Amino acid sequence: MVTKKRTIQIHSIPAIIWGTSSKRLYLYIHGQGGCKEEAEAEAFANIACRNGWQVLSIDLPEHGDRKSESNSFDPWHIVPELNTIMKFAKGHWEQISLFANSIGAWFSMLSFKDERLRNCLFVSPVLDMKKLISNMMKWANVSEARLKKSLLLLLPLCKHFLGSIGNTLQITLLQNGKYRPKYYMERMTI
């Protein structure tokens, strides 16, 4: 167990700083269904702190202390938030690394694409959002035409990936008929 932990708010984003003062930080970004406390539960904070790092973990929208929020677990909300967190981190630590889980890795890649991070550790990262959404649509027997027509669909997803039976996939149509998430999906496909 990490001996020192401090709960803070970064522009209304609940966060925990783990470990004793250090010039080195690991930013911990959880996945779907996670929370800031999982940095300790997963033993990552213990290992990092024993090796001279501090860990900063946050609650993403609709998770942890922010479960009551709605319609905000998407790139348009999360990317600006993660940029705010990075700005905070740069103001307090000299060396910044990243530990991200699942969709947290995808949001981190979108947010920090221009950052020079010391290390990046990803657990089960979502690397190809276009393929993931395509697979989710297949599992739910939803065509692209139906998705564009409905704009908002509840897709049944497997428990092991999202930790719940359903998740909402929202598509914002632009005037040219292309859906907005495509920009993010194509840009981050590896």
pLDDT tens digits for range 52-81: 999 999 999 999 999 999 888 888 899 999
Per-residue pLDDT, 183: 35
CATH 3.40.50.1820 domain position(s) in the chain: 1-126
**CB-based contacts of 44, cutoff 8 Å, min separation 6:** 26, 28, 55, 99
Total residue length of the chain: 190
Q: Which two tokens stand for residue 124?
A: 């089960």
Cβ-based burial of 167 (10 A; exposed 0-12, middle 13-18, buried ≥19): middle
Per-residue pLDDT, 152: 52
The values of phi and psi at residue 138, to 5°, are: -65, -45
Range in 36-40, 68-72, 104-108, 117-121 the model is least confident about: 68-72
Question: What does the pLDDT look like over 13-62, one tens digit per residue?
Answer: 999 999 999 999 999 999 999 999 999 988 999 999 999 999 999 999 99
**CB-based contacts of 186, cutoff 8 Å, min separation 6:** 130
- Give which of 179, 40, 169 is closest to 103, Cα–Cα: 169
Name residue 38's amino acid: E
Superfamily of domain 1-126: Alpha/Beta hydrolase fold, catalytic domain (3.40.50.1820)
- Whether the predicted pLDDT of 122 surpasses 70: yes
pTM of the model: 0.79
Say if CB 153 and CB 168 are below 8 A apart.
Answer: yes
In eight-state DSSP terms, residue 105 is H
